[in-house]
Structure 1
Amino acid sequence: MILETLEIRGVEMHYYSVCKRKLWLFQHGLGMEQHSERVEEGKVLHDYAYGRLDKEIEIGGEAVVDAIDEDWVREVKISSRMERADRLQMLYYLYLLKQNGIEKKGLLSYPTEKQTVEVGLDEAAIQEVEAAMQGVRQIGSGTLPKYRKLPYCTKCAYRDFCQSGEIGEEEA
C-alpha cells in the first residue's frame, strides 16, 4: 500500500478537496503556483512561523510536511478558509506516517488568525484518505474537468487560465 501512496503528493490531496480542475492541471504539468502572490505569501509565512521546529520534513518521497516534533506534525497555512482541504492534506500525512509505523497527531496552524486546529487519524479518517487517494488517481487518468466557478477562484493561481474560456466550458 505504501508504494501506491507515494505517487500522490500532499498538495494533490489539498487540490482534490478544493478544485478537481486545478488538480488535473497540476497533475498534467501545468504549474501556475510559481507566479502566484498568494503562494509567495505562504512561503514567507512558513519561513518565519515556528522557527524553532525542524521544517520541510519529507515523508516517504513526495510528501513534505511543514514542521515536525516528537508528538506533532504541523502544517502552516495563511488562512483557515480552506480548512477542509487543509485537514485532508494533514490526514494524508498522518496516514503516510502510520503506514511507516509512526503515529502522530496533526496541527493546522493559522498564525495570522492566531488559531490552531488539532487533527487526528481514526478509522473514519483513514477511509476518507483512501477514498480521496482513489479520487486523485481517477482525476489524473481522466479528462480535464469542466470549469466551475468556486469561491476560491478569485485568489487561485489558475484563475486566468480557467476563466479564459478557451479550455472547457462552465458547468451549469
Structure 2
Amino acid sequence: MQSIGGLHIQYYEVCKRKLWLYSKQIGFETEHERVIEGTLLHESSYARKEKELAIDQAVIDVVDGEFIQETKLSSKMQRVDEWQLLYYLYLLKQKGIEKRGKIAYTKEKKVVEVTLTEEKERQLKRKIADINSILTSEFAPKLKKMPYCKNCAYFDFCFITEEDADAT
C-alpha cells in the first residue's frame, strides 16, 4: 500500500488515468501554466511557512484554531477541492485531532466550509481503497474524455494516438 497525498485525492476525483500517470512519475506538471500559477499562489499566500502542517504525504496550507484551510485560485473544481480537504480532515482524525475545514478561493474572495461527516468518511475510505488499487495496477486506466482534458498537463500524452489516427 502506497502512501497517499492530497494530489492523489485530487487526481482521483479529476481523472483516474492522471492519477496513475502521476504515481508512475510520468510528470508533465512542473512546466504546466496552471500548476505554476497554483505554486505561486501557495508561496505568496503564506509567506510564513509555520502555518503549514505536514501529515504523512499531505501538506495542509494553514492550521488556525478549530479549522484547517486550503487556498485555491477558483472554485471551478470545488467538489475536487472539498474531497482533498476531507482527506486532510480524515488524516487528522486518525491522529486524534478533530478539526473543520475551509477552502479560500482567492479570485472570487469566497470561503467554503467543509465538515467530515460519517457518510463522507465512509465514501473517503472507499476512494482510498480504489486509489490504492489504481496505484498498484500494472496498466493505466482507460482514457476517458472529460470537458477539462484540453487544460490538463497530460493532454498531449493521452491524446497523441488519437491525433495520429485522425491524421491518417
TM over 0.5: yes
Pairing partner for 1:38 from 19, 31, 34: 34
1:92-148 deviation digits (Å, cap 9, x = unpaired) = 000000000101111111111111110001101110110110110111122211212
AA partner of residue 20 (structure 1)? K
Q: Determine what percentage of the aligned residue pairs are the same residue.
A: 46
Q: Please say if 1:47 is aligned against 2:43.
A: yes
Task: Quote how far apart the aligned CAs of 1:157 are.
Answer: 1.1
Q: TM-score, normalised by structure 2?
A: 0.89
* Greater CA drift, 100-109 or 154-163: 154-163
Q: Within 5 A, what are the aligned runs for 1:2-151?
A: 7-49=3-45, 54-59=50-55, 61-142=56-137, 143-151=139-147
Aligned residues: 162
**Structure 2 stretches lacking a partner, 5+ long:** none
CA contact (8 A) 1:58 1:64 kept: yes
Taking only aligned residues, the RMSD between alpha carbons, in angstroms, comes to 1.9
**Structure 1 stretches lacking a partner, 5+ long:** none
**In structure 1, C-alpha distance between the alignment counterparts of 2:49 and 2:60, rounded to whole Å:** 12
* Greater CA drift, 41-50 or 77-86: 41-50
Cα separation, partners in 2 of 1:152 and 1:80, compared to 1, 3 Å: same
1:13-57 deviation digits (Å, cap 9, x = unpaired) = 111010000000011111221111101101111222255784432
Q: TM-score, normalised by structure 1?
A: 0.87
AA partner of residue 88 (structure 2)? Y
Q: Please say if 1:164 is aligned against 2:160.
A: yes
**In structure 1, C-alpha distance between the alignment counterparts of 2:102 and 2:49, rounded to whole Å:** 13
Larger radius of gyration: 2
**In structure 2, C-alpha distance between the alignment counterparts of 1:125 and 1:43, rounded to whole Å:** 28
**In structure 2, C-alpha distance between the alignment counterparts of 1:91 and 1:29, rounded to whole Å:** 25
* Greater CA drift, 116-125 or 47-56: 47-56
